[in-house]
Amino acid sequence: MLIKGAILEEMGRSFPYSVSRPITISNIELSAPLDHEVLVRIESAGICHSDLAVVQGVRPRPTPMLLGHEAAGIVESFGREVKGLNVGDRVVMTFAPRCGNCLGCSSNGAMSCIAGTKSNVAGELLSGGQRLTREGKKINHHLGVSAFADYAVVDCRSIVKVDSDIPPQVAALLGCAVLTGGGALLNAVTLKSGQSVAIVGLGGVGLAALITAIALKTEKVYGIDLNEKKRSHALKLGATRVFSGDEAIAEGLKADVVIEAVGISKAFELALELTAPGGTLVTVGLPAANDLATISPLALVSQGKKIVGSYLGSAVAARDIPKFADLWRSGLLPVESLVSSTITLDEINLGMDRLEKGDELRQMITF
């Protein structure tokens, strides 16, 4: 079938992207789903920093590539080996599929699936190869999803079914921002009664961690960001106090659990400084490979601090997405608050500009 999608033609073009236009909107041939695959009509997709990192070339991927990994949609059809789905079901995309048979899959979320990581890096589906072509030439998949299009074919292990009462935008955010930020608090650390939480970086992922901490009845939740508008938004969502980085240091802020959600070394160093003795730093940001931080091993030893890396919130999507859906349904997790604007697919380059400027939390593409 012929679909319309946003293809990254080349990484590393100059900013602003609305001028250099690294992403083009193209007509693409999408193959029918194979035995373990599902055809999904995309309803909503979020623009994430991981998408921007590919555009920038910080996260190298094979191009041309149909971007997008945070999305939700409706099942249109599926292969004969797919179980537990019906046409018309709403599903959430997950960019960290699990084969179920490797060391990573046996780690209860602490490690990524080895096969899933390999296929993501190659621009393929977990079931192997590409299902996208343009003028007879293959187009690579982004993280096994490629959701910046009106339809996608994905491996059945790259989706999680949710109930129809979960709105498309909320469902989409459950698959990346909420799993990453909120999952870090559920899975990567044991949050004890009376402990405080600080979030460094108040973008979509950081604010997802913040609203999750509040949903978990954390008494003191601090937000740290350079952007005053984001700090103000965190206060509206229930943060105890907010700071710029310098303000947090000047006031001697310390927290038992610190979530670093920026993805640059300076933010990591700040987050470690804000971690209380005996506390835990959970880092979920994805910096460039050559962005190195400096730490004091003495401080780790003498103060008993812990550093935990957490990819996608150390989540198992099929296990954790329903938990967050229940929190949203109960009124404790205002996922809608992460949405800062809605755009069309044709505005994708401008959307990347806004994200790089720090003007947005989550921009949602509607179809």
Q: Indicate whether 140 and 245 sit together in one domain.
A: no
Last residue of a domain, one of 309, 332, 347: 309
Q: What is the CATH number of the domain that holds 167?
A: 3.90.180.10
Q: Token digits for 363? A: 């921009």
Domain assignment present for 263: yes
Q: If pLDDT is split at 50, 70 and 90, which confidence band does 231 have?
A: very high
Q: Indicate whether 287 and 162 sit together in one domain.
A: no
β-bridge partners, 197: 221, 257
Give the separation between CA 251 and CA 259, rounded to whole angstroms: 19
Q: Indicate whether 69 and 210 sit together in one domain.
A: no
pLDDT tens digits, 186-230: 999 999 999 999 999 999 999 999 999 999 999 999 999 999 999
Domain assignment present for 59: yes
Last residue of a domain, one of 263, 279, 309: 309
Q: DSSP states of 142-206 as a string?
A: STTT--SBSEEEEEGGGEEEE-TTS-HHHHHHIIIIIHHHHHHHHHSS-PPTT-EEEEE--SHHH
Instruction: Please determine, for residue 26, whether its predicted confidence score (pLDDT) is greater than 90.
Output: yes
Q: Indicate whether 24 and 101 sit together in one domain.
A: yes
Strands 37-47 and 90-93: unpaired
Share of the chain above pLDDT 90, in %: 99
Instruction: Please determine, for residue 103, whether its predicted confidence score (pLDDT) is greater than 90.
Output: yes
pLDDT tens digits, 50-94: 999 999 999 999 999 999 999 999 999 999 999 999 999 999 999
Domain assignment present for 184: no
Domain assignment present for 182: no
Q: Indicate whether 361 and 260 sit together in one domain.
A: no
Domain that holds residue 224: 189-309
Last residue of a domain, one of 277, 309, 341: 309
Domain assignment present for 167: yes
- pLDDT value of residue 203: 96
Share of the chain above pLDDT 70, in %: 100
- pLDDT value of residue 362: 96
Give the separation between CA 73 and CA 126, rounded to whole angstroms: 19
Contact assessment for residue 167 and residue 191, using Cβ atoms and an 8 Å cutoff: no
Instruction: Please determine, for residue 23, whether its predicted confidence score (pLDDT) is greater than 90.
Output: yes
Q: If pLDDT is split at 50, 70 and 90, which confidence band does 127 have?
A: very high
What Å distances lie between residue 344 and 240, 277, 360, CA to CA? 35, 47, 15
The number of domains in the chain is 2
- pLDDT value of residue 116: 97
Closest CA to 233 of 336, 337, 333, 363: 337
Q: If pLDDT is split at 50, 70 and 90, which confidence band does 335 have?
A: very high
Give the separation between CA 287 and CA 213, rounded to whole angstroms: 24
Q: Indicate whether 256 and 162 sit together in one domain.
A: no
Residue 284 phi, psi dihedral angles, 5° rounding: -115, -10
Q: Indicate whether 19 and 145 sit together in one domain.
A: yes
Q: Indicate whether 114 and 207 sit together in one domain.
A: no
Domain assignment present for 181: no
- pLDDT value of residue 56: 96
- pLDDT value of residue 354: 96
Q: Indicate whether 125 and 262 sit together in one domain.
A: no
With 0-12 / 13-18 / 19 or more C-beta atoms within 10 angstroms meaning exposed / middle / buried, residue 223 is buried
Give the separation between CA 48 and CA 352, rounded to whole angstroms: 9
Q: Indicate whether 83 and 232 sit together in one domain.
A: no
Q: Indicate whether 10 and 129 sit together in one domain.
A: yes
Q: If pLDDT is split at 50, 70 and 90, which confidence band does 251 have?
A: very high
Domain assignment present for 323: yes
Q: State the DSSP code for 227.
A: -
pLDDT tens digits, 257-279: 999 999 999 999 999 999 999 99
* Farthest CA pair distance, the chain: 61
Taking residues 303-331, what's their average pLDDT? Answer: 97
**Mean of pLDDT over the chain:** 97
Q: What is the CATH number of the domain that holds 233?
A: 3.40.50.720
- pLDDT value of residue 359: 83
Q: Indicate whether 31 and 144 sit together in one domain.
A: yes
